[in-house]
């Protein structure tokens, strides 16, 4: 079987998907895989959930889509109410889109529109962090610190500012692990002062960094300090929860762990759980008041914004998650999954770090565990783990370059929220076996 040699460029050697049920998916040659990463951390309810399929079918029989400038709809209004209730704070308004990149793009535009409404058209600069990923549109890509994915477009991307990753396992040079949160927050303030606050539109960050870092939760105290800095300089705070939000970490808002509410929050992936492409950009009263007064509302969105059937799918997904208490289950499962992985890989020193929250787990592989030295990039260990896992009937989400853009190997596990205990055990077993096999290949 020819498994793709990249996760950035699709390969002609990929198997052809046939069907899926629950936590499992089959290819057309009859091979079965347990989806340990929910695809790219999307399939929150696994495959073939009958209630979601029924909701989609019922909506299609009534009307597939009411264009947003012609109609509102029950699914759109209901999903807006659900998201306002689950997000908390004043995140009561939403722009619906077709996925995470569009949600981030809308967040950037809302931040710019907010400042324009205030007469601050000089505020056009965004501040982000290295080893962050915010999407594939040009705007979202411009604030993404993911070297491999930026490379072909670098000369066309607007100039932005990038700060150090807020990573306790890999602190900035000379910084103690316990000081990372304060140090990285101070770095944000210094960059705002260097640029001049009157040029800065927003700071965007992932509360738990996904693909680019291999599941890196914000250090304790970091988000609260960022909130204070942004408020003081009237810089919009954007929390990108496309991957880590919608229950993936055990609460609807991942940032709830940090006791902070952002001004703008893109969300996608687990929102519609992959049944129909769906994302949303939530924003609070401060942003709403400014843009409504000046413009009447948000000047962003697309043909399929608020797509009726997509919203119906999102409503169904969120109802299942709420009724079955799956966010609580995810939150309770997190420490168990971490403990089981640590036990299974206890005698593999090359597993330098196992981290995460809920059903969002990252493993970082290192050549020298004492110095945290990564394996040489040319060995492509992360891809070798993917290949071994696939051969073992496990889908995982590998990524490279988390240390310097080229070197660094991480593996993400993001099981469905409703995966059984036995299925979670199977994921741990197959992941640990696959990591051992891949390490033998590179040593």
The alpha carbons of the chain give a radius of gyration, in whole angstroms, of 21
Over range 71-85, report the average pLDDT.
97
Question: Which position has the higher pLDDT, 122 or 3?
Answer: 122
- pLDDT at residue 1 tops 90: no
Q: Does the CA dihedral 230-92-104-123 come out positive or negative?
A: negative
3-state secondary structure of 153: helix
What count of residues does the chain have?
443
Least trusted range by pLDDT, from 145-154, 259-268, 285-294: 145-154
Going by pLDDT thresholds of 50, 70 and 90, the confidence category of residue 9 is low
Q: What is the pLDDT of residue 3?
A: 44
Q: Is 193 helix (H, G, I), strand (E, B) or coil?
A: helix
**HSE-up of 87 (CA within 13 Å, CB side)?**
28
DSSP 8: S
Instruction: Please report, for residues 293, 371, 411, 413, 436, the alpha-carbon distance to residue 346 in angstroms, rounded to integers and kept in the order given.
Output: 58, 18, 17, 18, 11
Which residues 6+ apart lie within 8 Å of 9 measured at CB?
none
**β-pair partners for 21:** 24
Beta partners for residue 279, in sequence order? 97
**The pair of three-digit structure tokens given for residue 260, joined into one six-digit string:** 């902070």
CA distance 374 to 157: 29
CB neighbours of residue 373 within 10 Å: 13
What's 37's DSSP letter?
Answer: T
- Looking at residue 124, what is its pLDDT? 97
The predicted structure's pLDDT at residue 400: 93
Structure tokens at 308: 């009726």
Distance (Å, whole) CA 335 – CA 351:
17
Q: Pick from 208, 202, 210, 306: which is nearest to 263 by CA?
A: 202
Provide φ and ψ at 395, rounded to 5°.
Answer: -100, 125
Distance from C-alpha of 416 to C-alpha of 321, rounded to nearest angstrom: 11
pLDDT tens digits, one per residue of 353-373: 999 999 999 999 999 999 999
Instruction: Quote the CA–CA distance of 79 and 313 in Å, as a whole number.
Output: 9
Percentage, residues of the chain above pLDDT 70: 97
Go through the domains of the chain in sequence order and give each one's CATH number. Answer: 17-48+325-442 (3.90.1150.10), 63-323 (3.40.640.10)
- 381-430 residue pLDDT tens: 999 999 999 999 999 999 999 998 899 999 999 999 999 999 999 999 99
Question: Mean pLDDT, the chain, as a whole number?
Answer: 96
CA-wise closest residue to 353 among 370, 336, 332, 329: 370
Q: What is the DSSP secondary structure assignment for residue 218, as one 8-state letter?
A: P
Burial of 197 (C-beta count, 10 Å sphere; 0-12/13-18/19+): middle
Residue with tokens 């793709």: 4
Digit-coded pLDDT (tens) for 271-281? 999 999 999 99
Read off the DSSP letter of residue 258.
G
pLDDT at position 146: 92
Residue 275's Cβ-side half-sphere holds a number of Cα atoms within 13 Å equal to 30
- Tokens for 418, please give them: 């409703």
The SS3 assignment for 95 reads: strand
Among 48, 94, 409, 74, residue whose Cα is nearest residue 246: 94
Residue 316 has pLDDT above 80, yes or no: yes
Average pLDDT over residues 299-313: 95
> pLDDT at position 152, please?
94
pLDDT 10s digits, 13-70: 899 999 999 999 999 999 999 999 999 999 999 999 999 999 999 999 999 999 999 9
Question: Quick one: which of 261, 253, 196 has its CA closest to 227?
Answer: 261
């Amino acid at each position: 079987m020819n498994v793709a040699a990249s996760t950035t460029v699709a390969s002609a050697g990929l198997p052809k998907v046939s069907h899926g049920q629950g936590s499992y998916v089959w290819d057309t040659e009859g091979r079965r895989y347990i989806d340990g990463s929910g695809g790219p951390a999307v399939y929150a309810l696994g495959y073939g959930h009958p209630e979601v399929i029924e909701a989609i079918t019922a909506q299609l029989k009534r009307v597939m889509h009411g264009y947003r400038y012609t109609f509102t709809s029950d699914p759109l209004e209901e999903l807006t109410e659900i998201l306002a209730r689950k997000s908390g704070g004043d995140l009561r308004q939403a722009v619906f889109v077709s996925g995470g990149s569009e949600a981030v793009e809308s967040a950037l535009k809302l931040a710019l529109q907010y400042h324009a409404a205030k007469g601050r058209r000089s505020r056009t600069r965004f501040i982000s962090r290295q080893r962050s990923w915010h999407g594939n549109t040009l705007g979202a890509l411009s604030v993404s610190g993911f070297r491999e994915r930026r490379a072909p477009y670098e000369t066309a991307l607007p100039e932005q500012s990038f700060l150090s990753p807020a990573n306790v396992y890999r602190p900035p040079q000379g910084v103690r692990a316990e000081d990372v949160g304060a140090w990285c927050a101070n770095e944000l303030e210094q960059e705002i002062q260097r640029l001049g606050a009157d040029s800065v539109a927003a700071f965007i960050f992932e509360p738990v960094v996904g693909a680019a870092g291999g599941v890196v939760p914000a250090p304790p105290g970091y988000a609260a300090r960022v909130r204070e800095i942004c408020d003081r300089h009237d810089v919009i705070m954007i929390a990108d929860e496309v991957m880590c939000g919608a229950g993936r970490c055990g609460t609807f808002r991942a940032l709830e762990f940090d006791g902070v509410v952002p001004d703008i929050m893109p969300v996608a992936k687990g929102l519609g759980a992959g049944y129909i492409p769906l994302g949303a950009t939530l924003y609070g009263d401060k942003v709403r008041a400014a843009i409504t007064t000046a413009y009447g509302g948000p000047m962003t969105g697309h043909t399929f914004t608020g797509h009726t059937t997509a919203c119906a799918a999102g409503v169904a997904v969120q109802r299942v998650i709420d009724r079955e208490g799956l966010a609580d289950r995810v939150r309770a499962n997190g420490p168990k999954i971490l403990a089981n992985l640590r036990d299974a890989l206890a005698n593999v020193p090359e597993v330098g770090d196992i981290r995460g929250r809920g059903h969002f787990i990252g493993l970082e592989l290192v050549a020298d565990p004492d110095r945290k030295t990564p394996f040489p990039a040319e060995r492509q260990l992360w891809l070798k783990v993917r290949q071994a896992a696939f051969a073992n009937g496990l889908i995982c989400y590998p990524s490279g370059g988390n240390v310097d853009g080229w070197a660094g190997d991480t593996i993400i596990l993001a099981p469905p929220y409703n995966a059984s205990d036995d299925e979670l055990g199977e994921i741990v077993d197959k992941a640990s076996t696959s990591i051992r096999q891949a390490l033998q290949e590179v040593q």
